[in-house]
Structure 1
Amino acid sequence: MADVEDKHGLSCNSLIEKAIEFAAYAHRNQKRKGTEIPYISHPYAVGMILLKAGCKEEVVAAGILHDTLEDTETTDEQLLELFGSVVLEIVLGCSEPDKGATWEERKQHMLEALKTSNLAIRQVSCADKLHNIRSIRRDLEQYGEETWRRFKRGRESQEWYYTGLIESLGYASRFPLLDELQDEIEQVFGAPLAKPEWSKVRYSQKFIDLAFETAYGNLSDIEERQPKFVKLGAWDLIQHIHERAYPLYPEYQDDFDRLITYLQERGIEFEFNSEGPAILVGFCTVLMRALNMYPHEVFHHFKRGMKRGIL
């Protein structure tokens, strides 16, 4: 594409370059919160995260522009004219509502909206939060708990929001960037896995599918698959899960109740005229706790298991 100079003074040969120039000018007088770092470093980093993840050009451009409507004088009309309806829709989807609302109200609105947002909006929102949480982690390493003083809300509120984001961003479907965000959030807020080596299989569909093939706790099913679990480095993990699921350890009962309610609310029906559902959800409960999973992850695995005919 030949260089194009428009009436806004932008001269560039790609949508992404155009977005960089536009965002750099729009954020020209802004700094990163509590620092002297030019703000443009953040949207540029978000764009690079999306580019590295293989996202489409419009998604990368929207990532670079994601804060322009919320934090600058940029208008919807400008973005539509310069970047098109796809980019505008994504940026709008990543922008918070009325600034007059409380922090909690604005964040809760975003958490609910993201559950039904399209993949492009969720990818940009995820990349945005991924860069933010990485910055927080680096600052915590350098400045300790003083880091939280830079925010309108402290550590407890930030943990509520970031962990809520994982559930909302993955509610409709999982995508690779979400795995990275989940790992970063766990480093900042979450308890580590009981055994660090289990992290190698926490996002492994091969392991999850194999584990669900043993969900009813039949000893023959477990022993038959032992070589495969050993090859994955997860034999001790599957043993850990089954030891606690049949019968379910009392410490898991509250999680069990919440999970079965969640699965039912999302349309999974159980027939409680047999012990099968309790065994199955008990297995899922211990699996979830062992790998620090979120409810939506169990739901998606559960649905895939039903489609495979093993549940």
Structure 2
Amino acid sequence: MEMEEADSLRRVAMAFDLAARAHEGQRRGAGRREPFISHVADVARRVAQSPALDEETLLAALLHDVVEKTDHDMAEVERLFGSEVASVVAELTDDRSLPSREQKHRQIEEAPRFSDRAKRIKLADKASKLASIAAKPPGWWGRPKARREVEQARKVAAGLRGLDPVLEQAFDEEARRADEALS
């Protein structure tokens, strides 16, 4: 193995380790037993299917929720993984000081202006969410809330299209599965 390849693998392992430690004890969705890190790993796995995969995109996929959902900050991400990765993570980080409805509206509005890397990760993130809804929506949601979440994911994905047919097709498949599960 060449040194550059080994360095890349080390950085991926470091990003996964940081995400695993940062999200330790977190569960995906209210009332679920699934560790949150499984979502992070699923998003990274989905992004890895893209023919345009590069190291920075994979690193940002692993770290996409670290700043938004933990006490880690963007300065730490930049110090450990560089400005390119931090920039993508920043694009994907919702402003938690805003009400949920405003965050969702901003996701729809901002998605078309995302960088290519952020678009790929957001498509994988939304596909992962839909897969989770199809498998078992959180019990407290009920079908109407779950359907609204599917529609929200579709609206965000609409602004991400035209870049990565592989990830778009995977998103569409998960949306179809979620629709079937909720019908």
What TM bracket, shorter-length normalisation?
Answer: 0.7 to 0.9
Distance 1:108 1:167 in 2: 13
| 2:128 pairs with 1:131 | yes
Please state if 1:68 is matched with 2:66.
Answer: yes
Which runs of structure 2 are paired with 1:226-265 in the superposition (5 Å)? none
| Residue number among 24, 28, 32 corresponding to 1:32 in the alignment | 28
Residue 154 of structure 1 pairs with residue 151 of structure 2:
no
For residue 182 of structure 1, what is the aligned residue in structure 2? Answer: 172
CA distance in 1 between counterparts of 2:177 and 2:33 reads 26
The alpha carbon displacement at 1:183 in A equals 2.5
Match of 2:56 in 1: 58
Match for 1:117 among 114, 119, 122?
Answer: 114
Per-residue CA shift, 1:28-69, capped at 9, x if unaligned?
Answer: 121122222221111112112112324111101110100001
Which deviations, in whole Å up to 9, do the C-alpha atoms of 1:70-117 show, x marking residues without a partner?
0001111100010001110111111112x2322221111011111111
Structure 2 SS opposite 1:40: helix
Q: Which residue of 2 aligns with 1:168?
A: 159
- Uncovered stretches (5+) of structure 2, i.e. residues with no partner: none
Give the partner amino acid of 1:104. Answer: R
* Root-mean-square deviation over aligned CA pairs: 2.3
Distance 2:160 2:99 in 1: 22
User: Contact between 1:133 and 1:185, CA under 8 Å: does it hold in 2?
Assistant: yes
How far, CA to CA, are the matches of 1:44 and 1:66 in structure 2?
A: 11
Deviation at 1:125, TM superposition (A): 0.7
* 1:246 matched residue in structure 2: none
From 81, 103, 107, give the equivalent of 2:104.
107
Alignment TM-score, normalising by the size of structure 2:
0.84
Displaced runs of 4+ in structure 1, greater than 4 A?
Answer: none
Counterpart contact for 1:51–1:60, Cα < 8 Å: yes
Give the match's secondary structure for 2:107: helix
How far, CA to CA, are the matches of 1:21 and 1:75 in structure 2? 16
Cα distance change, pair 18–53 in 1 and its aligned pair in 2 (3 A): same
User: Residue 13 of structure 2 corresponds to which residue in structure 1?
Assistant: 17
Q: Is the Cα–Cα contact under 8 Å of residues 78 and 85 in structure 2 kept in the other structure?
A: yes
Structure 1 spans left out of the alignment, 5+ residues: 5-11, 141-146, 191-311
Rounded Cα–Cα distance in structure 2 between residues aligned with 1:148 and 1:110: 25
User: How many residues are paired up?
Assistant: 173
Structure with the largest fraction of helix:
2
Larger Rg: 1
Q: Is the 8 A contact 2:41 2:62 kept in 1?
A: yes
Separation in 2 of the partners of 1:107 and 1:155? 14
Could you tell me which residue of structure 2 aligns to residue 49 of structure 1? 46
Secondary structure of residue in 2 paired with 1:52:
coil
The alpha-carbon deviation at position 134 of structure 1 amounts to 0.8
Contact residue 131 and residue 177 of structure 2 kept, 8 A: no
Alpha-carbon separation, structure 1, partners of 2:154 and 2:48: 25
- Letter of the 1:22 counterpart: L
Partner of residue 89, structure 1: 87
CA offsets per residue over residues 163-213 of structure 1, 9 Å max, x none? 20221111xx231201210222133238xxxxxxxxxxxxxxxxxxxxxxx
